Amino acid sequence: MLTVRAPATSANLGSGFDVFGVALGTPADVVRVERAPETRISITGAGSQYIPEDPKQNTVGAVADALDAPAHIKIDKGVRPSSGLGSSAASAAAAAVALNALYDRGLSREELVPIAAEGEALVSGEAHADNVAPSLLGGFTVVTDDDVTQVDAQIPVVACLPEQSVSTRDARGVVPDSATLEDVVDTVGNASTLTVGMTRNDPELVGRGMNDAIVTPRRTALIDGYDDVREAALEAGATGVTVSGAGPGILAVCHQQDQREIAGAMVDAFEDIGIDCRAYQTHVGEGARLY
Ligand code: HSE
């Protein structure tokens, strides 16, 4: 039996819609695999009751199919579904690494990205690699149609996960079809600033570069309490705040010394409006690990 831990991720980072992603130190999914004549999946952990175990309806089943690697697959969910923290991507990335090793397929982490993304298509209707890429490769990733690039960034973050759900399909439904040239120019500037910030491990540049006037404002309307929580995090010292993935998770970038206060401020702001929330004080971290 092989075991793989694959981390939660945060995609978009505001200005990098469908392009940017980061691996988070915590939470993570753990997947165990052993060879079998046909694929069978069992799931425990956070939100497991909402995830189908039928391989035809499960992201991990799609990965097993794509690798022609039937197995008994046990998934222990640390990343809650519909969180904006790349829950299905963490399982898909873990399964891709585990099954690639179990069947000696010899694929590189980069080659596993499109395979793990196949699983994402089952959940969101489209194959996005912006969560599976950082979960597989770690650090900060830039995904385009043809390529993935990666930087081993070290940036402290708070990932705040409220007890509410936003489906990726709904969150994609509010994305506008077009944008003004002015907004596109602003967003390119911000995305570029963010990228430089990642290469310099500079939370100020990363935070500033997360601003986005095109997609994020439409999505914040789907998250109860977003504006209050963002304000509270910024007052507590966050250098930038945005929606994590499709939401409802909220990501705050910060300096290490402000992390605890920011996490407390975000939890308090959600509690003030009657919403429970869990705040992960973590950092941009490593990708999937095979044990
Ligand atoms: N980039 C995707 C989105 C991430 O924001 O819709 C979720 O799969």
Residues above pLDDT 90, as percent of the chain: 92
Q: Residue 84 CA: which ligand 1 atom is closest?
A: 7
Mean pLDDT, residues 247-262 taken together: 98
Interface TM-score (ipTM) > 0.90: yes
User: pLDDT, tens digit, for every residue of 71-92?
Assistant: 999 999 999 998 999 999 999 9
Tell me if residue 9 is catalytic. no
* Cα–Cα distance measured from residue 106 to residue 18, given in angstroms and rounded to the nearest whole number: 28
174 C-beta neighbours (distance < 10 Å), count: 14
Tell me if residue 168 is catalytic. yes
Confidence of residue 165 (pLDDT cuts 50, 70, 90): confident
Confidence of residue 124 (pLDDT cuts 50, 70, 90): low
- Asked if residue 31 has pLDDT above 70, the reply is yes
Confidence of residue 30 (pLDDT cuts 50, 70, 90): very high
* Cα–Cα distance measured from residue 259 to residue 236, given in angstroms and rounded to the nearest whole number: 9
User: pLDDT, tens digit, for every residue of 166-193?
Assistant: 887 889 999 999 999 999 999 999 999 9
Strand-strand pairing, 2-11 and 20-35: antiparallel
Confidence of residue 122 (pLDDT cuts 50, 70, 90): confident
Mutation to probe ligand 1, out of 17, 22, 82, 128 (largest number of atoms < 8 A from CB)? 128
Mean pLDDT, residues 184-205 taken together: 98
- Ligand 1 interacting residues, C-beta cut-off 6 A: 11-12, 18, 124, 128, 130-131, 168, 171-172, 245-246
CA–centroid distance, residue 128 to ligand 1 (Å): 7
CA–centroid distance, residue 142 to ligand 1 (Å): 13
Confidence of residue 225 (pLDDT cuts 50, 70, 90): very high
**pLDDT of res. 168:** 79
Among the listed residues 18, 14, 17, 58, the one whose alpha carbon sits nearest the alpha carbon of residue 39: 58
Letter for the amino acid at 28? A
CA distances from 174 to 193, 219, 237, 247 (A): 26, 7, 30, 12
What residue numbers does the annotated binding site for ATP cover? 80-90
284 C-beta neighbours (distance < 10 Å), count: 26
Query: Out of 39, 59, 141, 168, which one is annotated catalytic?
Result: 168
* Cα–Cα distance measured from residue 122 to residue 73, given in angstroms and rounded to the nearest whole number: 18
* Average pLDDT of the chain, as a whole number: 95
Q: Name the residue at shortest CA distance from atom 1 of ligand 1.
A: 18
Confidence of residue 123 (pLDDT cuts 50, 70, 90): low
Mean pLDDT, residues 209-228 taken together: 96
**pLDDT of res. 121:** 76
The encoded tokens of residue 63 equal 């990965």
Strand ranges for the chain from DSSP E: 2-11, 20-35, 40-45, 71-77, 140-143, 148-151, 156-162, 240-243, 250-253, 277-283, 289-290
Biggest distance spanned by C-alpha atoms of the chain: 56
Which letter does DSSP use for residue 177 in this model?
Answer: S
Mean pLDDT, residues 30-45 taken together: 97
The encoded tokens of residue 252 equal 């705050």
